[in-house]
Structure 1
């Protein structure tokens, strides 16, 4: 299973390079099911892997002129604040066994995976649905960017997901970006949030297997160079629905496995 996991890690980067998101949607299931990592620890590992991989991609896109730093900061700063609040205050206070009513309890790991699977299903809809983005706004809308950024920070904090499927539409609609600019700027935001969120976990005393993490991040890094190269040759918008169907199937599988199998 680990060999399959290493191969699958390549697609974390390919997805980020091609469509500016989706990497974390793959990372947590890969870590949990192929490498047998505890779900809560997997969210921490995901922050590092996705963050470092996105940083590589952001550098490539910056060199291609595809990053709008001002819009990225409108989005990233409130996102980082909510992310750190969730991981430093809320997540640490969630018990291993969560009572539901008077006679039932739910394992925290199961809850994380089911919530993550629901996120995958919702993300798949936004990927599969045909969207014709037309930038008709006369100016950047910072309030909307900040609001969505805060929401993405909550998602990233709980689940270790970068939130690219929310970031891309926000940048297209509220920051007047073209698709390639939205992809590059999304990678910068994901890198900023994820790496600082990971640093917060390290400061909170989470034990990290750095050799394992760097190995996965290195493979995903190769993937993002492949994805960035392919983005010059292929239209990421055309590939998004295909990836969306894959994410939908994975989400349904995780729900079925955790709740019924």
Structure 2
């Protein structure tokens, strides 16, 4: 019963992050699975990809109904990351757990820093200078991070879509969910054949709660303001980063 409650609570928080911010949920899903629910880092990454893919798809539908998804550009951006996500997903099964944990801790700290940093307006000159090569490289890098560490990468996708492709913040949040869904599924496929089966007794309620949370995340962000919600998750990520770094070093 305790495990079920923990899975439901953690899933709800992950869903709120993905639905409200277009990213950040997977950065909480992996440590929740490891420290609260007893998963190994490799199994947690696999389960996280499954949870994030299902939840991001739910959030994508909600944002698409509101007209906040730029489909053509999002598909092209996601396509650049699919090969990298699949390759990195296969590679991660052969890396030491401590290395994956340390890498995740660094990434969580980076995500928190990006969330807390003041937003900077990007001038038209800078936006026009960003060509297809930079967009493709950004998409490929995002896919590699997704495959290697089992994260959706929305905290990277949203600022990239704003600064590189000149999306509005609302469009970036909605479109990032399309990118996250595609990358997560691409990274999940090689993992399913190389790691132990997913514990559905934990993953199913976790995913269900996350899906429900994603529907509420968009409304919560509208009510509180996306920036307020973003700061709350950033401080949570700083705590996660510190805990995982200590674990990796011991």
Q: 1:251 aligns with which of 228, 241, 244?
A: 241
Distance 1:117 1:138 in 2: 34
Between stretches 230-239 and 108-117, larger displacement belongs to 230-239
Unaligned runs of 5+ in 2: none
Between stretches 168-177 and 199-208, larger displacement belongs to 199-208
Matches within 5 A, 1:7-26: 7-26=9-28
Q: 1:72 aligns with which of 70, 74, 97?
A: 74
Cα deviation, 1:185-242, whole Å, max 9, x if unaligned, reads 0111101111232233234564223343222110101111110122332321333223
Does residue 220 of the first structure (1) align with residue 222 of the second (2)? Answer: no
- Structure 2 match to 1:128: 116
Does residue 49 of the first structure (1) align with residue 51 of the second (2)? Answer: yes
Matches within 5 A, 1:171-210: 171-204=161-194, 206-210=196-200
Distance 1:250 1:207 in 2: 26
Q: 2:158 aligns with which of 142, 164, 168?
A: 168
Distance 1:229 1:18 in 2: 7
Distance 2:123 2:200 in 1: 42
TM-score, normalised relative to structure 2: 0.91
The answer as to whether partners of 1:19 and 1:183 remain within 8 angstroms in 2 is yes
- Structure 1 match to 2:102: 114
Distance 2:233 2:89 in 1: 29
Cα deviation, 1:30-73, whole Å, max 9, x if unaligned, reads 01111101111111111000110000000110110000112212
Supply the RMSD in Å over aligned alpha carbons.
Answer: 1.9
The alignment partner of 2:152 has SS state of coil
Shift, 1:257, TM fit: 3.3
Distance 2:121 2:212 in 1: 30
Between stretches 244-253 and 132-141, larger displacement belongs to 132-141
Matches within 5 A, 1:30-41: 30-41=32-43
Q: Tell me the number of residue pairs that the alignment of Structure 1 and Structure 2 aligns.
A: 246
TM-score, normalised relative to structure 1: 0.87
Between stretches 117-126 and 139-148, larger displacement belongs to 139-148
- Structure 2 match to 1:103: none
- Structure 2 match to 1:237: 227
> For residues 14 and 199 of structure 1, do their structure 2 counterparts lie closer, same or farther at Cα, with a shift above 3 Å needed?
same
Q: Which has the larger radius of gyration?
A: 1
Unaligned runs of 5+ in 1: 95-107
